[in-house]
Structure formats: structure tokens, C-alpha cells
């Protein structure tokens, strides 16, 4: 079912969640910040009052709903919602076509069905876990490529290109990343492991001269947070950062060099032939 507009309040949104397993909004031009928060919570799982025959039961249930939004441009301004959004961009000829269930919603539902069918196998491949907060996005991307009849490597190529654009100027904004990159360039091609307190002292020698004092970590906790923040950026530059837990009471981090042009990306085995393979490849 296509719903013309996004609800204006959380009560109307909850009512829709009671009625529909999939929420789909058409011709959306903007969504308020507060409603974006409610949409995200509903996607992740929201506790709502359970109604039976239109009456409250006094019982709360957890409801989780996928959400489809048709718009001419991305409406997500909330960072968390952006991270949880998978965008499908149609070319110019497709964008002139009416947003109808026969043209867009049906194929998208088939993709969701394929993902659900294959999710258990993808989730059991723990190689995806090295992508941290992107691990489930990567699993979904590989399954979407599979459903569309493409090689799974196509997703990884697109992700790499997208991250390359994202990280192009980010290094200049992360002094701890600049210091780690300089440190690793002067080290041998072997994993380097230090306790967090030792990383602080080692990286201090490579601190950028232009770095403001407030942007440089001075505690082990802050260094750990900064390392978590720059993991993806470092992967882009051929350095894998891993927290390996506590040793003798101190948190240890390992930095490993690798060839970014020769990376084995995880895949989902037991390929299922897509019903769209022939038709989509010919387009």
C-alpha cells in the first residue's frame, strides 16, 4: 500500500505501524527532524501500546517496520537515519515514470524478500564484522547485488569508490590519523601492537604542527574513541586498526598494513539465482 504523505505526529505513525508491515510514503519533499527520529526508532524497533479491535490492552509490544520513501532527493538530515538508509537512484528515464507499486514497489519488495531469505547465511559469515558499524550494510549490499544478478564484487567496488570520495578530505580533519599514517610509513611491514598509553607517547612524535591542543587525545579513553572513529579512514589508506582487548590491565591496539589493491572481500555463499537476472542484465 502506498501512503501519500508522512504522518505529522507520532500517534499517526504508530497507528500506521499497527496496520502495515511495510510503511511506504510517496512524493515526499521533507520530513521534520522529530519525525526522522521516530522513523529511525520504528526501523530499529519501537515499544508501542498494543491495541486490539481499536482498544488499548494495557500491554506494550515492540514493533519493527521497514520504511520506503519515494522522493526526488534524499530527505534524511539526521546522521543516524542517513547511516541506516539504503538509497536507490533511478536514471532519468525511470524517474519520469509514476512511482507505482507495479514499477518500483514490487521489485523492491522482491529484493527485501531475497535479503530476508539469505540473511541467516550472510549473518553467519563473520568476515563482515571487520567493517564494524557498516557490517550489516555490507551484507545487504552483497545480497542486493546477488538479487540483481550482478557479481557480489560489484558492491565492494561501488563501496570503495563511495568511501574514496568521503575520505578524500577527511584526513586533513583528523590529526591522530595523520600521525598514525606517518608512524606506520616509518615502520616495517609487520603488525604493530602497543598498549593505548604507549600509542599516545609514540604518536606524539608525529603530531602535526598545526594541530590544536584540544584536537589531540591526552587520555587512553580519548585515544580509543579516536581510533574507533578513524578505522574506516585508515582502512582506506591500507592500515587496519584492531582493538585486541586488555593485557596486564591495559587496552592494546594493533595496526596492520595491507595492500588496498589486493583485498579479499567477504561474500555470501550458496548462490541463489535471481528471478531478475536475465531481464536486468539486458537493460
The whole-number pLDDT of residue 279 equals 41
Assess whether pLDDT exceeds 90 at residue 271: no
CA of 229: how far to CAs of 104, 114, 184, 203, 263, in Å?
36, 32, 18, 16, 22
Q: Is 52 helix (H, G, I), strand (E, B) or coil?
A: strand
In whole angstroms, what is the distance from residue 94 CA to residue 89 CA?
A: 9
The whole-number pLDDT of residue 103 equals 53
Residue range 213-231, pLDDT digits in tens: 999 999 999 999 999 989 8
The whole-number pLDDT of residue 19 equals 81
229: Cβ contacts below 8 Å, ≥ 6 apart = 174
The predicted model gives 4-17 an average pLDDT of 85
Neighbours of 70 (CB within 10 A): 16
Are residues 229 and 171 in contact, defined by beta-carbon separation less than 8 angstroms? Answer: no
Higher per-residue pLDDT: 73 or 253: 253
Q: How far is CA 115 from the centre of its chain?
A: 16
Are residues 240 and 255 in contact, defined by beta-carbon separation less than 8 angstroms? Answer: yes
81: Cβ contacts below 8 Å, ≥ 6 apart = 36, 37, 39, 40
Amino acid at each position: 500500500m502506498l501512503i501519500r504523505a508522512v504522518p505529522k505526529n507520532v500517534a499517526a505513525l504508530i497507528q500506521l505501524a499497527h496496520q502495515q508491515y511495510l510503511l511506504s510514503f510517496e512524493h515526499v519533499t521533507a520530513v521534520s527532524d522529530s519525525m526522522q527520529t521516530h522513523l529511525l526508532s520504528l526501523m530499529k524497533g519501537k515499544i508501542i501500546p498494543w491495541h486490539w479491535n481499536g482498544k488499548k490492552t494495557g500491554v506494550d509490544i515492540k514493533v519493527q517496520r521497514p520504511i520506503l520513501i519515494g522522493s526526488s532527493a534524499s530527505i534524511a538530515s539526521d546522521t543516524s537515519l542517513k547511516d541506516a538508509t539504503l538509497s536507490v537512484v533511478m536514471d532519468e528515464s525511470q524517474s519520469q515514470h509514476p512511482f507505482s507499486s507495479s514499477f518500483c514497489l514490487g521489485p523492491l519488495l522482491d529484493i527485501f524478500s531475497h535479503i530476508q531469505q539469505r540473511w541467516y547465511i550472510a549473518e553467519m559469515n563473520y568476515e563482515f564484522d571487520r567493517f564494524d558499524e557498516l557490517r550489516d550494510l555490507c551484507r545487504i549490499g552483497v545480497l542486493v547485488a546477488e538479487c540483481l544478478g550482478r557479481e557480489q564484487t560489484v558492491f565492494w567496488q561501488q563501496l570503495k569508490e563511495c568511501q574514496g570520495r568521503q575520505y578524500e578530505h577527511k584526513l586533513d580533519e583528523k590529526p591522530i590519523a595523520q600521525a598514525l599514517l606517518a608512524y606506520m610509513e616509518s615502520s616495517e611491514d609487520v603488525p604493530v601492537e602497543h598498549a593505548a598509553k604507549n600509542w599516545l607517547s609514540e604518536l606524539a612524535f608525529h603530531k602535526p604542527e598545526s594541530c590544536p591542543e584540544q584536537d589531540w587525545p591526552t587520555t587512553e579513553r580519548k585515544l580509543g574513541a579516536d581510533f574507533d572513529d578513524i578505522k574506516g579512514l585508515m582502512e582506506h589508506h591500507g592500515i587496519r586498526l584492531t582493538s585486541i582487548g586488555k593485557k596486564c590491565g591495559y587496552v592494546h591496539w594493533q595496526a596492520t598494513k595491507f595492500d588496498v589493491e589486493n583485498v579479499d572481500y567477504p561474500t555470501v555463499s550458496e548462490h541463489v539465482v535471481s528471478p531478475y537476472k536475465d531481464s536486468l542484465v539486458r537493460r
